[in-house]
Amino acid sequence: MSVVQLAPHTGSRRDSRRPVAAEATATDLAVTGRLPAGLDGCFVRIGPNLMTGDRPGHVLVGDGMAFGVRLREGRALWYRNRWIRTDRTTRVLGELPLPGPRHGLSDNANANVIRHGGRTLALGEAGVLPIELDERLDSVARMDFDGTLPHGFSSHAEADPVTGELFAVAYYHELPYVEHLVLTPEGRVRRCERIEVSGPPLMHGLALTDRHSVLFDLPVTFNPALARAGSRFPYAWSPGRPARLGLLPRQGCAASVRWFDIDPCYVFHPVNAYEVGDRCVVDVVRYDRVFDRDRDAPGESPPTLWRWTLDLTRGTVAAEQLDDIPQEFPRIDDRRKTMPHRYAYTVAMQSGTGVLGGSALLRHDLVRRTVAVHDFGPYREAGEAVFVPRGPLSAEDDGWLLTYVHEARTGRSSLVVLDAGDFTGPPVAVVHLPVRAPGGLHANWITA
């Protein structure tokens, strides 16, 4: 495990989560350094951003706002931030409701943004339908994948880099099951398996191997008492409820899920999963518990990097902590999903930064078991870093890392581009935003 000294964080968590009150558009952004000409696309991030009121409240609650920087031919063409047009935001803005179907009690797609089937999609928790965004991040319509989605969707779907299919687990508090969904590369649901669970549990995401989906059935569940009390996200730690991992064969039915018991814990974000012989390796960021004493944020136990190795012959699980630095938002080279990976990138979480960012990024070499640190220094907070390969056949660490960094002293934000092969070196380029970008959860690179 690592012994790494990080610079003390002296910024304000409240400042980084303070809502951005207005939409903005800026063009021809100033750049320090040189943007790689090969970066042609938009780096988009999304997160909760309260439209009314100034109390941050629950970390997963707040009106969705997406923002991004468009890069092309070594230039930063524009920055935009846009409200996701939910029913709530259109009422406040005095606009017509967004077209498209409805599902459940909420349409707050504020947690993730992905590209699939030729569409850019804003995603949310607890059965929210995706909202399609156009190339300028304006909301287009609420969607159910051309009528093929039976209920709601997920905030953390996983794409298979070989088949182009998209996998997700959708949960909704009124259903006694979760739905394992498989979408075609064109963006239609081709398979839905209903898997009986109790709770129901908060399943933020899943992991993929080349043969299985890995399900996380963990003790954070829907809490009716919190719902009656008016909580906008009534999920809490459930003491005594078992924790287990499920292996669902890619073409298997619900009855074919094989369950493996593990110690109680919670996982928002898997790093990756893969199979070697009769072993299934699952790397995750793991919490001892969340939403127990603190119902608004998963900050009561530090998230750390762990590995579960499932013995498919004996039916056993070996657990190993890979690193002891508090960290979140793991990313790898997405071309390595479902396959053995060497490198993983995370955000180091430090005291005072909350759960959305930290002042340093970590680069894990899981073969050599080493950790490199890129520390942005005091008063700065970085978000999820996304790896963009230099080319389709380049090596796993040959490319760039993109992340948004907030500067507490100036109240401004920037897009920082690092060379993954020179991780601890200075940034390749910094795009200076003329405004403070909103707080965010997940980010992705949308190729032009």
Residue 52 DSSP one-character state: S
Interval 207-231: pLDDT, tens: 999 999 999 999 999 999 999 998 8
Asked whether the predicted pLDDT for residue 12 surpasses 60, the reply is: no
* Residue 203 near residue 215 (C-beta atoms within 8 A): yes
Give me the residue spans of the domains in the chain. Answer: 13-447
What's the number of CA atoms in the CB half-sphere (13 Å) around residue 56? 20
DSSP string, 373-418: EEE--TTEEE---EEEESSTT--TT-EEEEEEEEETTTTEEEEEEE
pLDDT at 53: 63
pLDDT at 17: 64
Interval 80-97: pLDDT, tens: 999 999 999 999 999 999
pLDDT at 352: 42
pTM of the complete model = 0.93
Query: Which of 278-287, 296-305, 347-356, 398-407 shows the lowest mean pLDDT across its residues?
Result: 347-356
Q: Which of 156, 167, 250, 239 is nearest to 203 (CA)?
A: 156
Asked whether the predicted pLDDT for residue 1 surpasses 60, the reply is: no
Identify the residue whose tokens are 């890129």: 374
Query: CA–CA separation, 253 vs 246, rounded Å?
Result: 12
pLDDT at 62: 85
pLDDT at 103: 87
pLDDT at 368: 96
Helix residue spans in 18-153 (DSSP H):
87-93
pLDDT at 353: 41
pLDDT at 440: 87
pLDDT at 3: 45
Mapped onto helix, strand or coil, the DSSP state of residue 72 is: strand
pLDDT at 438: 87
User: Both tokens of residue 274?
Assistant: 């893969």
Q: In percent, how much of the chain has pLDDT > 90? A: 79
**How many whole angstroms from its chain centre is CA 438?**
16
Mapped onto helix, strand or coil, the DSSP state of residue 323 is: strand
Higher-scoring residue by pLDDT: 296, 434: 434
Mean predicted confidence (pLDDT) in 47-71: 83
Interval 135-176: pLDDT, tens: 999 999 999 999 999 999 999 999 999 999 999 999 999 999
Count CB atoms within 10 A of the CB of residue 388.
20
Asked whether the predicted pLDDT for residue 128 surpasses 70, the reply is: yes
Query: Which of 8-22, 26-40, 206-220 shows the lowest mean pLDDT across its residues?
Result: 8-22
pLDDT at 356: 61
Beta bridge partners of 348: 327, 360
Torsion-angle region of residue 352: left (phi > 0), alpha (psi -120 to 50) or beta?
A: left
Q: In percent, how much of the chain has pLDDT > 70? A: 94
Strands 327-331 and 316-323: unpaired
User: Both tokens of residue 244?
Assistant: 């287990």
Identify the residue whose tokens are 């939409």: 23
Q: Does domain 13-447 have CATH number 2.130.10?
A: yes
